[in-house]
Structure 1
C-alpha cells in the first residue's frame, strides 16, 4: 500500500495494440524543440500495460482521456479515395466517411466508459469533437455519456482537433459540463499553423462565459507555458497538470526545472496534478520527475502526485 495517495491524472488507452502504435507514432511531440535525453515509453497504450504500471507504482487511480480528431481522421480517409472517382461518387464516399467518423467517436467513448466499469481504478474522460458531432449533437452525446455511461469528465485537444478553445460551437458542451459539475481536461500548447487554438490565452473567452466550469489546462501550457500564469491568476476555476512538460524541461521551448517549479508555486501547487501522458511516457518516471523538482516542499510534491487530483476531479 502506498504511503500517500497516488493518481495519474492524464493517460491515453487504445482498443488494440495496433491502434495505439498508429496513434503514438503518428503524433509528433514537436512544440518543445530539441532535448537530447527525454525519457520515452516503449508501451503502446494497452489496458494491461497501464494496469501493470499502476500496480508497480502503487497508483490507485488513472484518468483515461480519449484523444479523437475528426479533422485528422477525415483527412486520412479522404486521401485514400481513388482519384478516378466521379464527382457524385466522391460526394457519396465523403458522406460515408463523415458518418463513419460520427459512429467512431461514439464507439470510442463508449469503449472508454465500459472500460472504467470493468476497472473501477480507471476514470473515463470522453472525447468531445464538434467537427465530428456538429450542432447540438456533441453536447447531447456528452450528456448521454455522463448520465448513462458513467463518464467522469471530458477531454478536448483544440490543436489536434482543429478548433479554438473559445469556439462558440463548444458552448453547449461547456454548458452541459458546468450544469452537471463535470470537469474538462483540455490540451494546451501551440499548433503547427500558429492559430493559437489551444494556447492558454485561447481559454479566456470561454472561462469568462463559464465561471463555474472546472477546466484543467493540461501540460501547464506546453510550449506556450509563459502564458499560463496570466490565466491562472485571472480564473480561479482553472486547474493544471504537469504531464509531458515535466519531461521536456531544459528543452528549447520548455522551462528549466526551476522555472517549472516556480510556475507551479506561483499558480498554487494545490491546483496542479501529475499526469504521465502514458503511453508516451512511463508512470514511474513521471513520479520521479515530480520528486526531482526544486523549490517545492515534499508535502506539495506528494499532493501533486495524488491528493490534488482527488480534490480537483472529484475522484
Structure 2
C-alpha cells in the first residue's frame, strides 16, 4: 500500500455479500437499513468491485462484515473469504474480521488464527445486532486476544438503521450501543485500541467523554453525512480529539463521494482535515510499516 498516494482512508465499509451471493444480514434487516438511509437503489458490491471503486478514487478502505449468528440465526460471510479477497487487493483494501462474542473461547481462537494466518488487522463489533453488552465478561477472552495482538476493536455505537421500522426493531436493543459500556472495556483492557463508530446519537456527549478520557479510544465519523454532525462533535474534532477522529463512510449505504462533498463544507481547520481523512488512520492501523 502506497500511503503517500492515498488521499483518504475510509475506516468503515461493509462487505454485504459473499462471492456466492450470500448476504451479510437477513433481507428484512437489510431492507430496514436501506429504508433508513434512503438507499433504495444501492447495490451490494463484491469485494473486487469495492477495490475498483476505492482505487479509482485514490483511497483505501477497511472492510468487514458483522457476525451475529447467535442473535439472528443468519450465517455470516466467512472472515477468511473477506481477508483473502482483501489480500488480492492489498493496495487499497484492509481486512477486519467480525466474530460473534457469544462464541466465547472458540471465538478467541478464531481471532488469533485470523490475525496470524490471514493478515486481519482489526475486529468489528455491533453490540445491538449481536445482542450483547460490550462489558459482558463473556466477551473478555476475545478482547484478551485482540489486545495481545495489538489490533483495533471497532464498536458500533448509537442508533442503528438495522431493524429500524421493523416491529420490535427486529429484536435489536439500542441500549447495548451506549459508549459508556465500552468505557468499561477501555478500563479493563487499557492497551487495546478502540474505535467508537459513528456519531453516537443519542449518546454523543458520552462518546466524546470516553474518547477524551481514555488515551486509546478513537471515534470514526461514519454513518452520517457531515452536515448533520452535532456541533460538539465538530468542536472536539477540531481541538481535543483532532488526533483521534477518523474518516469513515459506511459504504455502500453512504458513499465516500457524498460524505467527502459534505465534509468539504464543514468548518474544520486546514491542519486538522488531513489528520481526519488519512493521517490518524495510518498511525492507528500501523500502515506506515507496510
**Fold-level match, TM-score > 0.5?**
yes
In structure 1, the residue matched to 2:110 is 141
- State the structure with bigger RCO (CA 8 A, min sep 6), 1 or 2: 1
In structure 1, the residue corresponding to 2:264 is in which secondary structure?
A: helix
Please give the residue correspondences for 1:300-315 in structure 2 after superposition, counting only pairs within 5 Å.
Answer: 300-315=272-287
2:121 paired with 1:152: yes
Q: Does 2:150 correspond to 1:181?
A: yes
Q: Aligned in 2, Cα 1:172/1:288: closer, same or farther, shift over 3 Å?
A: same
In structure 2, C-alpha distance between the alignment counterparts of 1:41 and 1:278, rounded to whole Å: 13
SS in 2 for 1:232: helix
Structure 1 segments of 4 or more deviating over 6 A? 38-41
State which drifts further: 149-158 or 266-275. Answer: 266-275
Distance 1:169 1:304, change over 3 A: same
Question: TM-score by structure 2 length?
Answer: 0.83
Deviations 1:246-275 (A, max 9, x none): 3571xxxxx44x443113235412101111
The 1:20–1:291 alpha-carbon spacing in structure 2 relative to 1, beyond 3 Å, is: farther
1:130-181 Cα offsets, whole Å, 9 max, x none, are 22x2x31111110111111111111111011100111111111111111111
Distance 1:293 1:40, change over 3 A: farther
Instruction: Compare 16-25 and 49-58 and name the one that shifted more.
Output: 16-25
The alignment of Structure 1 onto Structure 2 pairs a total of residues equal to 272
1:283 has 2:256 as partner: yes
* 1:15 equivalent in structure 2: 18
Residue 263 (structure 1) aligned with residue 236 (structure 2): yes
Aligned-residue offset at 1:237 = 0.9
Higher normalized helix content (fraction of residues):
1
DSSP-derived class of the 1:57 partner? coil
2:187 aligned partner = 208
- State the SS of the aligned residue for 1:152: coil
Distance 1:171 1:53 in 2: 36
* Gap regions ≥5 residues in structure 1: 77-103, 250-254
Spell out the pairing of 1:1-315 with structure 2 (5 A cutoff). Answer: 5-13=7-15, 14-16=17-19, 18-20=21-23, 26-27=29-30, 28-29=32-33, 42-59=42-59, 61-74=60-73, 104-105=75-76, 108-120=78-90, 121-131=92-102, 133=103, 135-190=104-159, 196-246=175-225, 249=228, 255-256=229-230, 258-294=231-267, 296-315=268-287
1:157-208 C-alpha deviation (Å, 9 max, x unpaired): 1011100111111111111111111111111114756562121111121111
Q: Give the drift of 1:123.
A: 1.1
